[in-house]
Every structure is written in structure tokens, then in C-alpha cells.
Amino acid sequence: MKFTRIIYALSLTTLTVLGYSQTSIQHKVETYCNTNPRLTHAHYAVSVKDVSKDSLIVAVNEKKSMTPASIVKLYTTSAAIQELQKDFTFKTVIGYTGTIQKGVLKGNLIIIGGGDPTLGSKFFPQTKFFVDSIVQALQREGIQSIDGLIVLDCSLYGKEAIPQSWVWEDFGKDYATGVYPISFYDNVFSITLQTGNVGDTAKITQVFPSEMSTTIQNNAIVGNDKSNEPAIQGNPEELTRTVTGLIPSNRNSYIVRGAMPSPPDAFGLEIKQALFRANMVKYNQEYVVKYEPFFKDGLDTVAILQSPNLELIVGITNYHSNNSYAEHLLKYMGYNKLQKGTFEAGTQVVQKHFSDLGILSPGAMLYDGSGLSRYNTTTATHMTEFLVKKYSQGADSSTFFRSLPISGKPSTLRSYDFPSYLIGKINAKTGSMNRVRNMAGYMTTKSGNRVAFCIMIQGFLDTDGDMKKTMIDILDTIYTSY
């Protein structure tokens, strides 16, 4: 009986110390946020949970709706892993209709888009020879020339290439590319400029891809003011692009990148030129992009181009905060689950994913898959509850966990000046836009505990660098105190 009382007393002592410890951390973080002059005019929220016990460690404004920016990708990639599975691959089908007569295809070349974001992507160098693969597949089939059309089947999705809630200032930028059934080169094009003296107009010397039906208005001026950096602007639904800003003087080659206008059209021109070089079509060969479903009776498949598997795509999405990959995943989930290749359908799949995980906290409202929309909202509580649920599914070994950037490693976390003892201790996704700075993920503390955390700071008047320092201070407190 005496032994039992001793155990009971020790248990109470342990619970008391633990409770005091958690109260102490809460007090430290709350006091820091309330007294930090950098946060005087800002909105902020912090939530920290122990992933093993699912116990709350810190909660500051944790139920307030905030703009998540790119930490939305955590939601999108998690849902994609569940709905599509890690070994899933996107498929682009190459086929033809008609007959082959003495090496001449009397019919149409059909390329069926499957929503693959990786064709020719800089993140997967092995895909850059996709055009040659198509030409070689046709030649192996015995096709020496084509007497018909090149048809690009883009009926998988509708014509809505970007979410309606994106803002004009992002249109045309290389981080705000559209989503199409046929995408290539990351849906990014580049303009190379040559400059001379300050005040002159920069000269365009090269455009890549060169085969695009695009009108480029060059308003770029030579100047050394870094506050007006060069950019490419343009409506996603139009083929016109405008280069603006100041280009540094006396540069022989200065590259500006932007969102490619109508990638399916550019793809058609790219394929047409490759077939022309192989003497398989005439220079004036016609191609057509079809967004409406059409009958493909008698289609013979020549080749299927497969993307790298989803596990690798998710890794690039989170590690490099790739907006294009995230939006392609979102749209495909809508098509795959609800037979609607729209952004709205994709977000419905993600919302259903929350229910499947058993998340009870409200607060997450999504309008895209990358976090570029300012209409998106979430709460720190919702994010940490989500992270705890995900951790319980597979901990360190899961595809999701391995996709997260690591402190001190080359990734979106590289711009944070973590102290040496936090290097390798944090697996997290950042999210930022103008006057928004967020981070969410996992951290292993000094005592070996693993926590899920979400820190969001918005509407601040100080610099991004100041906010990064503020986040590190909060993480440091949690690391050393729990």
C-alpha cells in the first residue's frame, strides 16, 4: 500500500512538472509575442502540439483565420498522396487515327494530354527529350510522313487555366503559370535581353521556346535601380506579353522568365517543328488544340509518356515550393475523384481529405492548391491538428514527411539563419507573400520530443528578415524549453 502511494505521488509530481513546463512555455511565447515591437502592428498566431501525446503545448491566437500562403501545399500534397497513391504517374498518350500506307499516315496524329506537369521540367532532366521520344515512337511504328492533322487533345480539363482568385500583379510571372492537360518546360518561357547604357531600351536577342505564337511588348529600360526589377506581365487568356522594369547596364545576356502563353499551342508548334526536321510533315503542317471531348474511334496507341512517380513530384512540390506542380495535382484530383478537372473540384477533394483524417477543427477554406490565392484561410490549430494526424500515419518513414524541407539544407528554409543546434531539427514548409510570413511542420526539441507547429505572422510593418528572426526566436524558445 505504501509502495502504491509512492508511485501515485511520483506520478502526480511528474504530471505537475509537465503541466508547469507547458504553462511556462506558453507564458514565454505569449509574453514574447505581446512585447515584441516587431509584432506591435501585426496579426500573429502560434500553435504547438506534441505529436506523440497530441497534447497542446502553445496556443496564441490559434483559432484566428489567417492567410496561409504556400503552407497550403501541405494540404494539397497530403491529399494527393492519399487519393492518387505514391506510385501514381501522369500519362500522355501518343496515338493516331487512320491507316499507314507505304510509310504515310493517312489520318491524324493524336496527342492526349494527361495533366503531366513534368514534361521537359528543369526538376526532372530525364524528361527533356520528350519531343524526340514522340518522333522516334512514330518512326518505330513505320510512319515516315503524316498526311493529316496534329491534334492536341486537351479535353481532360476546361479552359480555365488559373484560379479566379489570383490577382493581376501575379499574372504573367513565372511562379503563376497556368494548368493545362498538356504542359511542358514548367509552362515557363524566357526572354534574353542585351543592354548598353542607362536610359536605353534593352534589346531582345532570344526567346525560348522559340516556337510560340506570342507578341512581346518590350518596355524594359536599362537602369541599375534594383527596386524596379524586370518582370513579364500578361493576361493568361491572351498571347501578348509585356516586359517591364529596369535591366542592369552593359549586360550581354540577361534572362527574364515568365508564364508561357497557351502551352498547348506552344507544344503543338514544338512538335510540328520536330516532325518537320525529321521530314515527316511540311513546313505549313496544321495542328489543332481541342478542349471539347471528341470521338477518337480507331485510335492506335504508339507510345505513352509517363511522368516520374507522385512521391518524387510531391518532394519537388514541397521542397521547392513549386506552385505549378501543386496546381496540377489539385486539378487532377478533381478530375480523378469527381470527374471534374477544375480548381473548385480539387479543393473539394482536399476538404474531404480533412474529414478522412478525422480533423475536427474548422477554419481551412481553400481556393487553390499552391497558396497563391489571398482568399485561402486556415488557422494555426487546424494546421497543427492536421500535422499530428499525418504524423500518426507513418511518422518519419512517410512520403509526406520526407517531402518536407530540412533546416540547414538547400530548400525554401535556406534563407533562415538558424542557430547551429537547430540545423537538421526542423522539417517544415514556409509560406510567404507581401506582408505574410508563415511556417508549419515538425521540430525535434532539445529533450528529444517531437512537436508539430504552425507560426503565422501577417500585416507586419517590418522587413521579411525581421519576421524570419522572430520565427526563429519562437522556435528557439520551444526547442530549449520542451
CA distance 234 to 220: 14
Q: Each residue of 73-99: pLDDT tens digit?
A: 999 999 999 999 999 999 999 999 999
Q: Each residue of 192-228: pLDDT tens digit?
A: 999 999 999 899 999 999 888 889 999 999 998 887 8
Per-residue pLDDT at 134: 97
pLDDT at 11 over 70: no
CA distance 286 to 274: 13
CA angle 345, 372, 213 (to 5 degrees): 85
Per-residue pLDDT at 7: 44
Per-residue pLDDT at 228: 86
CA distance 368 to 327: 7
CA distance 201 to 196: 8
Average pLDDT over residues 370-386: 98
Return all residues near 34 (Cβ < 8 A) that are at least 6 apart: none
Write down how long the chain is: 482
pLDDT at 20 over 70: no
Position 211, amino acid: E
% of the chain exceeding 90 in pLDDT: 86
Per-residue pLDDT at 23: 79
pLDDT at 16 over 50: no
Query: Residue 222 pairs with which residues in a beta bridge?
Result: 247
% of the chain exceeding 70 in pLDDT: 95
Q: Each residue of 335-352: pLDDT tens digit?
A: 999 999 999 999 999 999
Q: Each residue of 262-280: pLDDT tens digit?
A: 999 999 999 999 999 999 9
Per-residue pLDDT at 391: 94
Rg (CA), the chain: 26
Q: In this structure, how many other beta carbons lie within 10 angstroms of the beta carbon of residue 106?
A: 14
pTM higher than 0.85: yes
pLDDT at 15 over 90: no
Q: Of 84, 87, 90, 262, which is closest to residue 172 (Cα–Cα)?
A: 262
pLDDT at 19 over 80: no
Per-residue pLDDT at 363: 85
Contact 71, 439 (CB under 8 A): yes
Q: Each residue of 283-296: pLDDT tens digit?
A: 899 999 999 887 77
State the average pLDDT for the chain. Answer: 93
Average pLDDT over residues 465-476: 97
CA distance 138 to 301: 10
3-state secondary structure 356-391: HHCCCCCCCECCCCCCCCCCCEECHHHHHHHHHHHH
Domains defined for the chain, CATH in brackets: 26-85+312-481 (3.40.710.10), 91-159+263-307 (3.50.80.20), 168-259 (no CATH)
Per-residue pLDDT at 372: 98
Per-residue pLDDT at 158: 84
Per-residue pLDDT at 21: 64
Q: Whole-angstrom distance between the N-terminal and C-terminal Cα of the chain?
A: 34
Determine the distance from the C-alpha atom of residue 299 to the mean position of all C-alpha atoms in its chain, rounded to a whole number: 34
Average pLDDT over residues 415-421: 95
pLDDT at 305 over 50: yes
pLDDT at 108 over 90: yes
Determine the distance from the C-alpha atom of residue 446 to the mean position of all C-alpha atoms in its chain, rounded to a whole number: 32
The per-residue b/e assignment along 328-342, b for 16 or more CB within 10 angstroms, e otherwise, is bbbbbbbbbbeebbb
pLDDT at 145 over 60: yes
